[in-house]
């Protein structure tokens, strides 16, 4: 008769997190088709990361600052641009998660992502990515079919606003695919590609609304995006510690002193360029200077969360999870709308 000790000796060792993810993935692919599909649908939605669609709000800013948000045809075009970029971004997120699924399984947070955890099969994830890409193409085509109304197209000499918008979203997709494929492994290239994605969103918004906008706005967007990207790398370096290079190879080339210095330069550049933009705004004289304190507080609060709370690994989530940053952004937007749209009504 076998003793309890013998039974313990023959007991299977517990599975590691990556092994559990592989088991879950195999179950997802061997389950009955319709049952597996119904089970995976919520995870497919999570893989799209709809909470990160807030980044695509940048496409609305050009029309906002140009006083075109009350023009319904322009509003229709920029909403089409918003959904085009949102679906394109979701397709990229899924492709990136597919490429990084093995590394994500060793990450303390990313291991819970639908693909890395095995709750979303590779096959269905691929279908979701293709459908999102097709959806982005449909919205882009719908935008291209709608000619700008009112004033003449501001970008006629460059081929027209529709052509430039299509080029912007195509370049966004190509850059991000290159990032997922190899650019994320190169130090500094990775953060510049992230920043380029934000700038392309801002440019695409101007193309969709067919309005020119100050170069200071684009510089502010680029510098702020670099602040967020560098803060993300710093938080990853701190959180992953000795395992950082296992998750992302180029983290071995980053150091905390380097990232701190680069962030200091970018924060200074962001605040200077935004201040210059408010000084030189053509739509509201110097009144937009009233928004500078909100921007200062928001940036300072972000630095506090990065350096003191080590919470910069998901900068997009801070907008919703930190009430103080959310409040600063909300007050800034209310002030901008009041100055750009309210003051002209009062001054009549």
Q: Are residues 186 and 286 in the same domain?
A: no
Q: Are 299 and 333 in contact (CB under 8 A)?
A: no
Q: Are residues 263 and 155 in the same domain?
A: no
Q: What is the CATH number of the domain that holds 109?
A: 1.10.357.140
Q: Are residues 60 and 79 in the same domain?
A: yes
Q: Are residues 136 and 218 in the same domain?
A: no
Average pLDDT, the chain: 83
Q: Is residue 21 part of a domain?
A: no
Cα 148 to Cα 6, 85, 138, 181: the distances in Å are 79, 19, 18, 36
Q: Are residues 276 and 201 in the same domain?
A: no
Q: Are residues 59 and 205 in the same domain?
A: yes
Q: Are residues 191 and 277 in the same domain?
A: no
Tokens 């190879």, residue? 249
Q: What is the pLDDT of residues 27-76, one digit of tens each?
A: 444 444 555 677 888 888 999 998 889 889 999 998 888 888 888 888 99
Give how many domains the chain has, as a whole number: 2
Tell me the C-alpha distance between 165 and 162, whole Å: 5
Q: Is residue 223 part of a domain?
A: yes
Q: Are residues 170 and 282 in the same domain?
A: no
Over the Cα atoms of the chain, what is R_g?
A: 23
Q: How far is CA 107 from the centre of its chain?
A: 20
Q: What is the pLDDT of residues 118-159, one digit of tens each?
A: 888 899 999 999 999 999 999 999 998 887 765 567 788 888
Exposure of 172 in the CB half-sphere (CA atoms within 13 A): 30
Q: Are residues 228 and 179 in the same domain?
A: no
Instruction: From first to last of the 348 residues of the chain, give the pLDDT tens digit.
Output: 444 444 444 444 444 555 545 545 444 444 445 556 778 888 889 999 988 898 899 999 988 888 888 888 889 999 999 999 999 999 999 998 998 888 878 777 788 888 888 888 899 999 999 999 999 999 999 998 887 765 567 788 888 888 999 999 999 999 999 988 888 888 899 899 989 999 999 999 999 988 887 888 889 999 999 999 999 888 888 877 656 555 666 778 888 999 999 999 999 999 999 999 988 766 656 888 999 999 999 999 999 999 998 887 777 778 788 999 999 999 999 999 999 888 766 766
Query: Given this model, what pLDDT does residue 167 score?
Result: 95
Q: 278: domain range?
A: 214-240+254-342
Q: Are residues 197 and 271 in the same domain?
A: no
Query: Given this model, what pLDDT does residue 345 score?
Result: 67
Query: Given this model, what pLDDT does residue 166 score?
Result: 94
Taking Cα atoms as reference points, which of 30, 37, 42, 176 lies closest to residue 99? 176
Q: Are residues 166 and 196 in the same domain?
A: yes
> In 3-state terms, what secondary structure has residue 144?
helix
Q: Are residues 205 and 261 in the same domain?
A: no
């Amino acid at each position: 008769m076998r003793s309890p000790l013998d039974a313990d000796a023959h007991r299977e060792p517990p599975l590691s997190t990556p092994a559990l993810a592989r088991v879950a993935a195999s179950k997802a692919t061997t389950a009955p088709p319709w049952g597996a599909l119904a089970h995976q649908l919520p995870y497919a939605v999570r893989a799209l990361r709809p909470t990160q669609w807030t980044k695509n709000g940048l496409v609305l800013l050009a029309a906002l600052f140009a006083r075109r948000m009350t023009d319904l045809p322009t509003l229709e075009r920029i909403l089409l641009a918003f959904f085009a970029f949102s679906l394109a971004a979701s397709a990229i997120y899924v492709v990136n998660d597919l490429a990084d699924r093995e590394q994500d399984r060793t990450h303390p947070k990313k291991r819970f992502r639908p693909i890395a955890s095995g709750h979303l099969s590779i096959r269905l994830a691929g279908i979701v990515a293709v459908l999102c890409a097709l959806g982005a193409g449909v919205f882009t085509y719908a935008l291209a079919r709608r000619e700008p109304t009112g004033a003449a197209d501001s970008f006629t000499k460059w081929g027209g606003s529709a052509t430039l918008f299509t080029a912007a979203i195509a370049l966004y997709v190509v850059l991000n695919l290159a990032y997922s494929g190899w650019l994320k492994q190169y130090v500094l290239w990775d953060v510049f590609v992230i920043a380029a994605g934000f700038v392309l969103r801002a440019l695409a918004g101007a193309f969709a609304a067919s309005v020119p906008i100050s170069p200071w706005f684009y510089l502010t967007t680029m510098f702020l995006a670099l602040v967020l990207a560098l803060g993300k790398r710093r938080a990853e370096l701190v959180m992953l510690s000795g395992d950082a290079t296992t998750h992302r190879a180029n983290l071995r080339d980053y150091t905390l002193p380097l990232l701190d210095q680069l962030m200091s330069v970018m924060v200074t550049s962001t605040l200077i360029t935004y201040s210059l933009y408010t000084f030189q705004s053509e739509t509201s004289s110097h009144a937009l200077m009233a928004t500078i304190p909100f921007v200062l507080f928001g940036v300072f609060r972000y630095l506090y969360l990065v350096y003191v709370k080590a919470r910069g690994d998901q900068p997009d989530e801070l907008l919703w999870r930190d009430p103080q940053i959310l409040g600063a952004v909300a007050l800034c937007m209310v002030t901008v709308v009041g100055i750009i749209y309210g003051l002209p009504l009062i001054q009549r």
